[in-house]
Structure 1
């Protein structure tokens, strides 16, 4: 499963954060708003880093990814699941960029933006399938509320990931059936990614 590969990559990167000298991994791959224009890849790579000073950060994120990945990946398929996850990771960074204009140097790391994207994706998929969503809404509300009360949690990234994941999943779930469905789904995902790029460009150029 792609889920296990992502968990493995996050664990590997976390180990490198401890092993490499001089905080090198954080300095080169974490996201901060100041990097959005000239080093935009950090909007994705930051999702594979976690706080070294808080072990539960990676433990809780990977546990949640394991739970939701096992449920959502079979419904979407490996490639589509990976696309939703990666686009949501970027969406989390875009959310932080938009909602923290006064914090250009604050570094952000963690998979939680992408994981909130899985929350949004699962919500859309469940509604499309006619499934129950009440418990998922409660989970989203609880986790969202925690982000507002714990200063070190970037709720802005959670919100950005949630919205992006929902949009990406909608592009997949509601693509017209037929021989061109896969092409339509890919086009929808490209549109979502393009929207993130446009929003980022507008935010950066508008100062």
Structure 2
């Protein structure tokens, strides 16, 4: 008569996946944990429930803007870069595309969207996309540093409002017939906001300040076709937004406070740009009639 070993009656099963047998137990609670629910620990493994419970009791580290510190892919940075490349290709192959979306001082009052769309267009007069390449390289470096700190929507706001702020400064400080394009206003806003974050976190500002200073001076001196007005406008806008995002530590709902302030800054910039655009148009028409 032959005998066969009987299967064990009390086989441990993973509590999260009852159909899975597991002889590995969590070092904290002692419950079985299947491979999907195991998390490596200093000694043995922990189950996902114990890991979640431990993390809930740990105080989250936040940046100066109140954003929880964690690894974030700079998806907004990449999206802006992609839009700039698409805009450049549209400029090359779609007749009249640049003229429809470029920032033109005389048209800003009637077509305020130009203050933003111009930030995604670049100079096509050079056979090589030098203007686009330099701006995208700067955006790639600065965006990867700032976007994880501010979070996605704040970073997008800094770039877009920086572009608009640069356009407003161009309408204010340049000839009424001037037109311009490029992402430099938004890039200067990103650099300025990063400068505020570094200052608030008590980190060294020298490198960032030197880079911004060199690029700002370059626009005043060497580059005949570079709009220093847009650089100044973007810089000021970035400093304002950076200061807003680093403030409000005593506000109960800091996220809502940042949203409200961002919307207010955007409305003021658009209104100011349109007002200055209408003023430039009236001045130009008056000069035309006088002559």
Alignment check: 8 A CA contact 1:176 1:184 kept: no
Offset of 1:43 from its aligned partner?
0.2
Aligned residues: 203
After superposition, the CA RMSD in angstroms is 1.4
Unaligned runs of 5+ in 2: 1-74, 284-291
Among 182, 185, 188, the residue aligned to 1:110: 182
Aligned equivalents of 1:31, 1:137: Cα separation in 2: 28
Offset of 1:10 from its aligned partner?
0.4
Unaligned runs of 5+ in 1: none
2:115 matched to 1:43?
A: yes
Offset of 1:85 from its aligned partner?
0.8
Higher alpha-carbon Rg: 2
Q: Which residue matches 1:139?
A: 211
Aligned equivalents of 2:119, 2:100: Cα separation in 1: 13
- TM-score, normalised relative to structure 2: 0.67
Cα deviation 1:133-171 (Å, max 9, x = unaligned): 111111111001110121100000000000001111211
2:228 matched to 1:194?
A: no
Q: Which residue matches 1:167?
A: 240
Q: 1:8 to 1:204 in 2, by over 3 A?
A: closer
Aligned equivalents of 1:11, 1:136: Cα separation in 2: 26
> Counting helix residues as a fraction of each chain, which structure ranks higher?
1
Cα deviation 1:10-41 (Å, max 9, x = unaligned): 001111111113xx111100011101210010
Among 167, 191, 209, the residue aligned to 1:119: 191
Does 1 or 2 have the higher relative contact order (CA < 8 Å, sep 6+)? 1
Cα deviation 1:51-95 (Å, max 9, x = unaligned): 002321000000000000000000000011001111111001001
Q: Which residue matches 2:249?
A: 176
- TM-score, normalised relative to structure 1: 0.93
